[in-house]
Amino acid sequence: MSSAELPREDWLPAAFNGGHAYRDRISAASPSVVAFYAGRYTHSDRALWSERLAAGEVWRNGQPLLADAPLSAGDRLVWHRPPWLEPAVPVLNEASVVFDDGDLLVLNKPSGLPVLPAGGFLEHTLLAQLQGWAPEARPVHRLGRFTSGLLVCARRAESRAWLSAQLRESTAAAQPHGDQEYFGAEEHPHSGCLKIYRALTQPLPADWQVGESRDVTTAIGRRPHPLLGEIWCAADVSPRAALPSRSCFTLLERRPESCLVEVAIATGRPHQIRIHAAAIGAPLEGDPLYRAGGRADPQVLPGDGGYLLHACRFVLRPPARAPLHLEAPPPLPLRITPGTTTILGFTEA
């Protein structure tokens, strides 16, 4: 990949997109188009959907609807959402490429850049930027908009398949300290990948010693949320849809009002580190969404930022190849205080 093919700008300025068509097929009869949309897209109430209908934004079976009407099973609806303003986002550049062998492409994603269209972003995404210089590459997993660090992409469908499986479920048994010991990687060298993050949390319990590692196994499930309908949170004790989840938190450094931690995750659940940090009573510093205990603030959305979370080290195990060690150095606030020797066996400048 030539650096000339990569964009040079640091930020993509705020701009209007081209609008988007949201398509739905009706599975069961409904007495009202407005009622269907208010139930389907809960971010807008019935009054707003009535305004959109009157403005000609909603079509049924290829024809515009100007008034509410009943729906039949098999009807096809399209909401033609007009263009909207997307916020400024960072732009990938030549320094963003951590590894590229012509198939596997690993990027150091900047904080503030969404990976895929969602949450009000359509064109200001990492996926859209990839189309300009690596059009065959597709992200294999997702990092939150304000999570920085290693993002794994692949050009071949076969590579995306094995990468997705590794990133979704890592190795099984958690052990502290060092790439060869986390999650039993030493005993089971071909059992999966290693994913290690850095984060700042609110103060951990006083009995948690620097250098100490603890497992967090709080299950993650969907719970009601007034702005989204449902949201991922710490699950109840025995919900049907709860996903088993596992993270290993290591305390690296205590600071006056926060703690620097390293987190190895054995599963790849939505917002797992944010939820697990909150579940143990130490939400990520500045996280507006997840409260102590792992529940979500009903007035906050997942895409709201303010926290520091960075994917700093991955070990991937390609089929029939040696393990691939990848690293994206953490930003300055997530580095150990200069001169401090850590339990991980190195000193960060």
Q: What does the CA dihedral 179, 180, 184, 186 come to, rounded to 10 degrees? A: 160
Pair 244, 331 in one domain: yes
In a shared domain, residues 160 and 173? no
Counting the structural domains of the chain, the total is 3
Tokens coding 294: 């792992």
In the listed set 126, 142, 168, which residue is the last one of a domain according to the structure? 168
CATH number at residue 111: 3.30.2350.10
Per-residue model confidence as pLDDT tens digits over 265-321: 998 899 999 999 999 999 999 999 999 999 999 999 888 899 999 999 999 999 888
Give me the helices (H) in 16-156, please: 33-40, 46-54, 126-133
Q: Is the whole model's pTM more than 0.85, yes or no? A: yes
What's the rounded Cα separation, in Å, for the pair 326 and 36?
47
CATH number assigned to the domain comprising residue 48: 3.10.290.10
Tell me: do 52 and 107 sit in the same domain: no
- pLDDT of residue 346 exceeding 60, the answer is no
Same domain, 322 and 218: yes
30 and 41 part of one domain:
yes
Dihedral of alpha carbons 168, 174, 176, 177, sign: negative
Number of residues that this document lists for the chain: 349
| Cα–Cα distance measured from residue 220 to residue 64, given in angstroms and rounded to the nearest whole number | 41
Do 58 and 96 belong together in one domain?
A: no
Indicate if 119 and 261 belong to the same structural domain.
Answer: no
Same-domain pairing of 181 and 312: yes
71 and 96 co-located in one domain: no
Instruction: Express each pLDDT in 36-75 by its tens digit.
Output: 999 888 888 999 999 999 999 999 999 999 899 999 999 9
Same domain, 175 and 156: no
The per-residue pLDDT for range 285-294, each reduced to its tens digit, is 999 999 999 9
Reported as a pLDDT band with limits 50, 70 and 90, residue 229 is confident
Segments forming the whole domain that contains residue 118: 1-12+91-168
Q: What is the CATH number of the domain that holds 243?
A: 3.30.2350
164 and 180 housed in the same domain: no
Mean pLDDT to the nearest integer, 214-220: 96
* Cβ neighbours of residue 22 closer than 8 Å, sequence gap 6 or more: 41, 78, 79, 81
Query: So what's the pLDDT on residue 42?
Result: 80
The answer to whether the beta carbons of residues 243 and 266 sit under 8 Å apart is no
